[in-house]
Structure formats: C-alpha cells, structure tokens
Amino acid sequence: MPHTTAILVFARSVRAEQLHKKLDRPGEQAIHRFLYQQTLNCVKASGIPFYPIDESQQKGTTFGERFNNAIRQVFDLGYSNVIAVGADCPQRTTQDLLHSRQLVERGVFCLGPDTHGGVHLIGISKNFFETGILDTITWNTALVLPPLINRLSKAGVAYQTISTYTDINHNGDLHNLLKSTSIHHSLWQILKQLLFRFIKKLPIRKPSFIRSSFSLQLLFRGPPALFFFAW
C-alpha cells in the first residue's frame, strides 16, 4: 500500500545551527551534530518516508514563509499528510512519530507541545494546510501553541496533543534535560566527555571523585557561575 504520510525534517544544517543557536559551551558542535543525527535515526526507524529540508533548500524571508513552503514541497510530492519536526528535540521517540501518523491518517490534527510554548511536532493533512491555518502564527515564540489550538477549536478541527518535550535552544534547556529521566544515553555520554574536558582545565586542584550528575549540571547551568570561561 502506498504511503500517504511523510515526515518533514525542517532544520538547519549542523554548521548553521551552531552559528544561529550558540550554546556558548565547549563541544557545542558535537551536541548539535548529535541532535541532528539522533532525529534522523528516530525518523528512519519509523519506516515513514522523510525529507530533510535545511537552509539551502528553504524558500522565504521569514520562518513562517520557509516553514509553510517546506510543508508545501512535501505535499507537492503527492502525500496527503505531513508530520513536521525539527532537529533539536532529543526526547522525541519513534513511537511519537508512529502515533502521530495514526492520528493524521484518521483526520486528526496532531500537536507536540514544547515547554517553551511552541511545538516540537505538527501533523497536518493537506486539506487543513490549504485553509491557511498555519498562516500568521508567531513562530519561534511562546505564542505558538495557544493561538494554534484556539484556531483549531474555532474552526471545529479535531486535534490531539502528544507528549510534551523541550527543544534545546539554550544552556538552560541542557541543564533541565540533565534532570530529566528521558535523556538519551548517547547525549549523556557526550555531556560526560565535555565534563572531563571542563575539569581538566580548571585552575584548581581536581577532586578525586566528582559525581557526574552534579558536575554536568554545574557545567550547563546558566550564569552566574564561578568556572565558566572560553577555551
């Protein structure tokens, strides 16, 4: 049976993400690279056709224009439904994608809330998309999810939210992720490696034992902090 649903991975390349979203921490490129690859691995494991569209393929001057044009590009390939995701949400799972496909193929608009007030996933049918329901949304702010839900409710569109996760936009998001039980093992390993680099450069005597969870939170907590310096 032909696929009626495809996934749009709407994300910057690793290099562009590093320039745009500075974490101001050692190894930030490794973190961005992990987030992008982990997203692709998760998407591939779903078995759903997918199309990464980065800044070299995106068309438009604003985020909203680029996002809508990218969704339209996937619809123009003949799909009836599109699940759009970014590449900065390490908590999202393959099961989330499969659940989203079930929803959109039943005609249900799907939303993955982000803790910042935005969304980490949107599942939409071509019919809903053509109504312009995503137009004039204030993207990249905390004013995404509430107005979008309000529009859906007023239009009488059936919608459902899936798991709420956190996009990695700044250092505080990494800090909060460290306290989460859903941190990906590979990301944990990357952060531990950064911790060891951090400790080696401290201009003080190194303790013989440092508890990893405490130290990682020290490394990624927000300012002010005693030992943050560039290297």
Residues 153 and 180 reside in one and the same domain:
no
Q: Do 109 and 192 share a domain, yes or no?
A: no
pLDDT (tens digit per residue) in 1-34: 578 999 999 987 656 655 555 554 555 677 778 7
Domain contains 93: yes
Better pLDDT: 193 or 123: 123
Same domain? 186 vs 86: no
Residue 181 has pLDDT above 60, yes or no: no
> Distance of CA 139 to CAs 78, 102, 108, 157, 190, Å?
26, 26, 22, 21, 30
Last residue of a domain, one of 117, 137, 161: 161
The CATH number assigned to the domain holding 136 equals 3.90.550.10
Calculated CA dihedral for residues 152, 80, 97, 145, nearest 10 degrees: -20
The helix (run of H) or strand (run of E) holding residue 194 is helix 185-200
pTM for this prediction: 0.76
Tell me if 214 is assigned to some domain.
yes
Judgement on whether residues 47 and 115 belong to the same structural domain of the protein: yes
Does 230 map to a domain? no
Q: Which two tokens stand for residue 70?
A: 């990218």
Range of the domain at 182: 171-220
Residue 23 inside a domain? The answer is yes
Same domain, 99 and 121: yes
Q: Total structural domains in the chain? A: 2
